[in-house]
Structure 1
């Protein structure tokens, strides 16, 4: 409930990476799950892989920034507001204690946090780029924060950690250092062991692609009686599919089914495979029986029920 209250100013979007390729390209999605936080159209942080704790901390940080901005906007828009009053509530003018608390949350937003210029996929200085490459080469999973997105964080973190430059790498909330130190650690041996973090798991090999004809043969033989329809038996999505489902059920037939709307490749391929241009299609023992009209004719002639029951 506290999280819900804190996040009321945020907007959450869930995207299937393969369904919206332009979004995947924009955010350079190479693996899922991936959580990206944006502000003003710019990425300000991300968490790659399944890491609920890091995601929660990153979202809380975003909610805190949004709440601060909302407070500033409200104060500035009120009747009689003065520039001085507005400046006092601007995001960059939060109290030192508030900023310190926010920085503490940010450096603990993930097991490995990188504060850099730009993002992990789009570094905006050569030192940040070098740091990202070192971590990726060592298969170290990390979350990042773009210091260009928040001037208060950019200036405050220098004083907070007594470290004047960027990038800065933190592990378990503790400053490790900049690119020179991390580069030196990587040169001495296994970086994951030195940082005390597990290596990022290697991506699973892509499944071998099964030829379409083999898929279709397997599908028509999945059960002795197979029905290819639009929708499913409990929720047919066309009148012909609904009628044929009713006919089979009235004859007490047990049958498997496949929703052709769920797979365009199967939907088109099965037409050529069986030389039958329409749906639904009924198969028994892997052989095409026909569509609704033929099944109705066979039923009227008393041929269908014996075939269904074998």
Structure 2
């Protein structure tokens, strides 16, 4: 796909901006170790099909420290939006609906064909992309954190009560979506809930599903923090929760932990707690261990840096990492 590219140097980044001219360029500051970046790359690939005159650039944040510092990239994924070489917008985090909305809004003015008004085909494709941006999508007034009408407030409360995992789109922020989605779905009111790309209905329908016990089968359930922590811990036989990652530690204790582990020749994976505040705080309670780094072997907590040093000095570290003792 010609308009979906990857930059590995500062110069390539500058070249892509220059080549795009007045058209929109979307730059994804990413990290290969972050699964949410991979998910957002899939979203970008779909957007690239729809917006042929927009350039989508993938850029490893750690490979270009000067650019990351210049644009204050403190976490991944982060998206920057450029026109005529100047930054015009920014988005931090993995928010597929928000990325779709920003690209749609910013791409129009820079399109060579000057299509200020989207055709019916364009808006239908955009609505389809928004609906499919998450397995369960709620179109509502306001956000799930701050609903702005009673019906939206009630449906959010119902979904949360039944542990439904969902994303939301604020129809008050986009008049075109607010107007056209009624026609697209043949449903005249809001909120509207979609599951796996199909319309479920509004508040009354969701209430009926909740009362009948069918809501959990209709929409995907949210993953509990405990389940999520267990899943991450067991991603690899040897898992280290630290500040930074295997390639770049971001504190002295984490750096020393990597040095100890690297000296053993045993393979291991890492999780950067700086990128996920929920994991950072939740793991302390889950493990009953208040500090980082934390080392796990086959799902069991071994301890922090001091424990690793003691095991290394006693000659037991390799056996422990291999799960042999």
Q: TM-score, normalised by structure 1?
A: 0.46
Larger radius of gyration: 1
